[in-house]
């Protein structure tokens, strides 16, 4: 079996757990390909030279015959792994080297059993929808204009709020007078959107969430809309440029650019252990029920 390892860095308290992964890999005769900058980090900072069969630097150099891409890190690393996998349909396995993780949900103390379950087929594959950004001018996220979590438009400086004119299938919805606006997928409902009061959606629901960031009018609340709708945004304010983000990638755009967000025509595959569930993750990660009265 071929697998790919993707990561950026991790704390030294994860080192032994990471090395343990290679012990399990060797028992299952796994052929390992690793992200070159991650490999360099391991040698430079961890003083560990893992036995691997090859390297990759991005989507174009990733062997499309690999069975899984293991993302080593947190949810941010997992989002970066999406830009490596793209539409190849290779499932991503999230190994959590830190604490909180909704997508990177395999904790370090679960690694030995989790890897055994994976190599013996004790898992399921979930498909997660993405959003796609289209603009009236080229040059904005041309390399990969998709997001698993959310698209966000922000004011670029600390000046006054911006106005975001919003349309659903060309029908006027609202003009948000706010610091910004988040368009989130169900996967992204537990991320940035949640922090501004957006609802939590079950991952396989077919919706988008529109959540304003610090709106001037307190009666303006997040709204859930079907993801087969196309969302159009036109931004204006005192500045000539604003900030757009797709997950963790950001760039500046001019006020003359119209932004269109729609559901992408492909999905990301995520490996889930049979012992894990989304509802259990909510209880554990968000500490629901952690109260003396319960």
pLDDT in tens, 248-294: 899 999 988 999 999 999 999 999 999 999 998 888 888 887 776 76
Q: Is residue 260 part of a domain?
A: yes
Q: What is the arithmetic mean of pLDDT over 91-98?
A: 94
Does 109 share its domain with 235?
A: no
Does 38 share its domain with 146?
A: no
Does 139 share its domain with 240?
A: yes
Catalytic residues: 75
Q: Is residue 192 part of a domain?
A: yes
Does 151 share its domain with 210?
A: yes
How far apart are alpha carbons 83 and 281 in whole angstroms? 24
**Statement: residue 245 has pLDDT above 90:** yes
Q: Is residue 291 part of a domain?
A: no
Report pLDDT for 248: 87
Does 139 share its domain with 247?
A: yes
Does 137 share its domain with 261?
A: yes
Q: What is the CATH number for 117?
A: 3.40.50.10330
What is the count of structural domains for the chain?
Answer: 2
Q: Is residue 208 part of a domain?
A: yes
What percent of the chain lies above the pLDDT cut of 90? 84
**Statement: residue 11 has pLDDT above 70:** yes
Does 226 share its domain with 158?
A: yes
Q: What is the arithmetic mean of pLDDT over 38-52?
A: 95
pTM, full prediction: 0.93
Q: What is the DSSP letter of 51?
A: -
Report pLDDT for 292: 65
Tokens 């030995």 belong to residue? 112
What percent of the chain lies above the pLDDT cut of 70? 98
Report residue 218's pLDDT band, with 50, 70 and 90 as the boundaries: confident
Q: Is 135 exposed, middle or buried (0-12, 13-18, 19+ CB in 10 A)?
A: middle
Does 70 share its domain with 141?
A: no
**Statement: residue 221 has pLDDT above 80:** yes
Average pLDDT, the chain: 93
Q: What is the arithmetic mean of pLDDT over 153-181?
A: 93
CB 267 within 8 A of CB 129: yes
Residue predicted with more confidence, 248 or 178: 178
Residue 137 CA to chain centroid, in angstroms? Answer: 25
**Statement: residue 63 has pLDDT above 70:** yes
Does 205 share its domain with 98?
A: no
Residue 289 neighbours by CB under 8 Å, 6+ apart: 283
Structural domain containing residue 86: 2-122+274-285
- The sign of the torsion formed by the CA atoms of 4, 9, 10, 16 equals positive
Q: Is residue 156 part of a domain?
A: yes
Q: Is residue 292 part of a domain?
A: no
Q: What is the CATH number for 150?
A: 2.60.200.30
Does 197 share its domain with 173?
A: yes
Does 176 share its domain with 62?
A: no
Q: What is the arithmetic mean of pLDDT over 99-109?
A: 86
Does 117 share its domain with 136?
A: no
Q: Is residue 207 part of a domain?
A: yes
Q: 270 is written with which tokens?
A: 């995520």
Q: What is the arithmetic mean of pLDDT over 180-199?
A: 97
């Amino acid at each position: 079996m071929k697998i790919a390892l993707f990561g950026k860095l991790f704390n030294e308290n994860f080192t032994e757990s990471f090395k343990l992964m290679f012990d399990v890999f060797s028992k299952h005769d796994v052929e390992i390909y690793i992200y070159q900058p991650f490999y360099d980090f391991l040698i430079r900072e961890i003083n560990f030279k893992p036995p691997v069969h090859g390297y990759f630097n991005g989507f174009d150099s990733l062997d499309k015959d690999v069975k899984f891409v293991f993302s080593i890190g947190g949810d941010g690393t997992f989002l970066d792994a999406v830009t490596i996998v793209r539409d190849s349909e290779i499932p991503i396995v999230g190994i959590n080297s830190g604490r909180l993780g909704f997508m990177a949900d395999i904790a370090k103390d679960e690694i030995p059993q989790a890897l055994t379950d994976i190599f013996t087929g004790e898992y399921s594959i979930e498909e997660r929808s993405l959003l796609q950004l289209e603009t009236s001018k080229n040059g904005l996220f041309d390399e990969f204009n998709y997001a698993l979590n959310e698209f966000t438009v922000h004011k670029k400086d600390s000046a006054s709020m911006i106005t975001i004119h919003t349309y659903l299938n060309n029908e006027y919805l609202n003009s948000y007078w706010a610091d910004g606006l988040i368009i989130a997928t169900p996967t992204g409902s537990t991320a940035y959107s949640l922090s501004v009061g957006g609802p939590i959606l079950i991952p396989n629901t077919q919706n988008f969430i529109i959540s304003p960031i610090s709106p001037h009018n307190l009666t303006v609340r997040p709204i859930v809309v079907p993801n087969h709708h196309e969302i159009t945004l036109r931004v204006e304010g005192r500045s000539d440029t604003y900030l757009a983000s797709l997950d963790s990638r950001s760039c500046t755009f001019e006020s003359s650019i119209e932004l269109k967000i729609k559901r992408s025509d492909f999905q990301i595959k995520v490996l889930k252990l049979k012992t894990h569930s989304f509802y259990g993750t909510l209880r554990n990660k968000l500490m629901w029920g952690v109260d003396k009265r319960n």
